Chain A
Amino acid sequence: MIHDFTYLQPGSVKEALAMLAEHKDECKIICGGQSLLIVMRQGLVQTDYLMDIKRLNELNYIKYEKKDGLKIGATTTHRAIEKSDVVAKNYPILVDMEHKLASIQVRNWGTIGGNLAHADAAGDPAPVLIALDASVKVGSAKGERTLPLEEFYTDLFETAMEPGEMILEVQVPTPAPKTATMYQKFNLLESDQGIVAVAVTITMEGDACKAARIILGNAGSTPVRAKKAEAVLVGKKPTDALFEKAGEAAAEECEPVGDIHASEEYRRHLIKVLTRRMAKAAFEQAKG
């Protein structure tokens, strides 16, 4: 049973930010609502004001320039990203990730901004975007700021946004040469959220791994950056033994919680295996 709320329909981003400044904590934002309406119906979220930004077409765009990289507006749907030629050409891993996110119906209505703001540690886009070194631009009536997506998540369903702020844009830089990102989630149905998920970016220089980003999904209360696992790879010539070591490090430094789907122990095992596989796959692609 959804509790009654006052429905706000801003006609522009400026108006939306003014409404947020006025109502702050008493106001929730709905975009596609594919996650929010479920928790509202379960009574887990109640709000006095619900501000609907689904129709803010100002924030519905995908732009790409080689110099600045990719910019995706907050109200862009998953389906638009999945079907974007420019994303497919420059960030194929994003298309692959979106293709396996829930169902066509959900991707048709759900949005990238809503997904990231919901801050579900099992969400698909965040680990991949963090592996791609993405940032989010957030805005309030006072102005805008951009922060790395890596620093955006503070706890389960919590973000670094202040009351009065909302996501405006996701920014993904152009990857360095000889760089590849791979992502895999482990689940029973391909479209489900991952029991765990691993995204790995590898940048090669000569024979050695120049840089690595390893992000674990659903292995803690936020997406986890496995820095010890990255350190295992950086500066070294990748080998199967090294990938194995990186997997072991990742399994150790995450904090998964056991639940009905898998025990903590099993999750750590999966993290180890997927990190090893994704690091190897990213390496194979990056070396060209």
Chain B
Amino acid sequence: MEKKLLRFSVNEVPYEIYINPKTLLVEAIRDHVGLTGTKRGCETVSCGVCTVMVNGMAVKGCSILAMQVDGMSVTTVEGLEKNGKLDPIQTAFLDEGAFQCGFCTSGMLMMAKAFLNETPKPKDEMEIRRGMEGNLCRCTGYNSIIRSIAAVASGKYREDK
């Protein structure tokens, strides 16, 4: 099996790695780049714990060949914090206590972030719930997660410059 060169950026850091072409995006991120915030869960495109952003779009890293993001920019949960400051969605999760075991958290944060980028003003709670449909929390902490997203959407964490 011939290894292939994958060039991509993760959280704005460029990487060039040689991989077996069957390597999944989540494997490239965890095992080759070494960022383990992105989790592996069901691996059947159901649970969403492997959610990352590719060119700003939320996708499930367990069901994408790493080679398919060649030349693209990937954002993982480690990339949310900027200059030592948490992203508003992270602060909101802390304020609302949107965790129990925490395993779904990185996927939830990435989907929430992508959802808010695309839908800064969701029209109601149902729209948020629909947006988060691809992420499962088996501790059933959904309400606090939805509240966190609604809080960010309401402008609670907006910085006045």
- Residues in A with CB closer than 8 Å to B130 are 190
Chain B residues near A13 (CB-CB < 8 A): none
A23–B64 Cα distance when bound, in Å, is 23
Of the candidates B21, B62, B133, which one forms a contact with A103 in the assembled complex, judged by CB atoms under 8 Å apart?
A: B133
Complex contact B45–A102 (CB within 8 A): yes
Q: How far is the CB of A5 from chain B (nearest CB, A)?
A: 6
B24, A104: Cβ atoms closer than 8 Å: no
Minimum CB distance partner of B71 in chain A: A55
The answer to whether A5 touches B22 (Cβ under 8 A) is: yes
Q: Which of B51-59, B75-83, B138-146, B149-157 contacts A (4 or more CB under 8 A)?
A: B51-59
A180 vs B47: C-alpha distance when bound (angstroms): 35
Most B Cβ at <10 Å: residue of A9, A37, A104, A190:
A104
Please name all residues of chain A whose beta carbon is closer than 8 Å to the beta carbon of B68 when the two chains form the complex: 33, 52, 54-55
B35 near A: Cβ within 8 Å? no
Taking CB as reference atom, which chain B residue is nearest A41?
A: B43
Residues in B with CB closer than 8 Å to A38 are: 43-45, 63
On chain B, the residues within 8 Å of A44 by CB distance are: none
Q: Is A61 close to B, CB under 8 A?
A: no
* Contacts A106-B60, A109-B59; A30 near B133 (Cβ below 8 A): no
Q: Is B4 an interface residue (CB 8 A)?
A: yes
On whether the beta carbons of B2 and A105 are closer than 8 Å, the reply is no
Query: Which of A6, A55, A189 contacts B133, CB < 8 Å?
Result: A189
A191 at the interface (CB under 8 A from B): yes
Summed over the interface, the residue pairs from A and B with CB atoms below 8 Å come to a total of 79
- Which of A5, A7, A102 has the most chain B CB atoms inside 10 A of its CB? A7
Contact with A along B81-93 (1 / 0, CB 8 A): 0000000000000
Name the interface size band of chain A: 20 to 34
Asked whether any CB of chain B lies closer than 8 Å to the CB of A242, the reply is no
Known A104-B115, A104-B131, A105-B51; judge A2-B22 contact (CB<8 A).
Answer: yes
Per the bound structure, the CA–CA distance linking A167 and B57 in Å amounts to 25
B22 touches A191 (CB 8 A): no
Instruction: Check: B111 CB closer than 8 A to any chain A CB.
Output: yes
Given contacts A102-B45, A105-B58, A105-B111, contact A7 B64 (CB under 8 A): no
For residue B65, CB closer than 8 A to chain A, the reply is yes
Q: With the chains together, A190 CA to B129 CA distance in Å?
A: 12
A191 touches B20 (CB 8 A): no
| Contacts A4-B22, A6-B2, A7-B21; A104 near B63 (Cβ below 8 A) | no
Given contacts A33-B65, A109-B57, A109-B63, 8 further A-B contacts (CB under 8 A): A6-B2, A34-B45, A54-B68, A103-B134, A104-B133, A105-B48, A106-B60, A109-B54
Q: Which B residues have a C-beta under 8 Å from some C-beta of A?
A: 1-2, 4, 20-22, 24, 43-45, 48, 51, 54, 57-60, 62-65, 67-68, 111, 114-115, 130-131, 133-135
Which 3 A/B pairs are nearest by Cβ-Cβ distance? A103-B134, A7-B21, A2-B22
